[in-house]
Structure 1
Amino acid sequence: MQIIPIVWDLIKQFKRQCRLMGWWASLYEDIIYAGGEYHNFLCARKVYPKTFRAISLSNLYPIRENDIMYRLVNVSYTAWILQEKPSGDIFVMLAENQNMRRHVAVYDLSEAYSKNPICMKLNETGSIVFQEFEKFLRYEYRLNLVNKLPLPQTKRIIK
């Protein structure tokens, strides 16, 4: 297994690969346009459940076009690329909300930073970009992504 770069550099490398495939990749944000849809990557070391919910339920995202102009786009899919193990509450949210699972993927790369090649993913989106991202991780960094949705043991309400 190669040493995996921090998540921001990892996405920067993947965006270069996307451009080689003919997909549009934003110069300023971690967003790819492919198959007539926008696919957004959110990189974080740690994410709190309230933040996760608020961002995951919003599908409008500003894209910077130049130094002074932005435009809002309707994002079809969002992937959270996490450097630290996510809170169990995030998985409870996803387990209870099938619609959210269709649009939101989570990649827990915390084990990769501990030199373990097996990482957890939760991807039920059908996003062609996220499928390509998984291939990128598998072939470039020898990561084995296991699709797993831990079942909630207790119901928690997050406000």
Structure 2
Amino acid sequence: MTEADADLPDSADILLVEDNPGDVRLMKEGFDASPLDPTVHTVTDGDDALEFLFQRGDYVDAPRPDLVILDLNLPRTSGDDVLAELKEDLNHRRIPVIVFTSSQAEDDVITSYNYHANACLTKPDHATEFIETIGRVVELWFTLLRLPSDEE
């Protein structure tokens, strides 16, 4: 165990909002390769993301995620709308959200930050880079940065 590994939390809940099964698989490989063993909850559209985040419907017992990784191009409710609704809510706005998108559009980056995304990343084209990027995200968000607790 390295010194960085000793600083990892005992557990973490990550909400992955992604509709592409291939991207979900690569992200889970990235999480599996990291020293943190997060519990990854996956939803495939914006409506389910909001239901999970606000603990409604089928997700009434869902945990409050420590981190959300959000694709922008989602079925039903868009990633932008999920982000906007989450960050408008006083009880949820401190949940860190990383927008992880295949979009290269500058407007998408600007919109994500205007809606208070904590970071915006472009998905790498190659599987190895994709997996390594997720590992770096885990390291950054759970080792180097100090995250707020979910307590008021």
Name the TM-score, length of structure 2 as normaliser. 0.41
Greater CA radius of gyration, 1 or 2?
A: 1
TM-score normalised according to structure 1 size: 0.40
Higher share in strand: 1
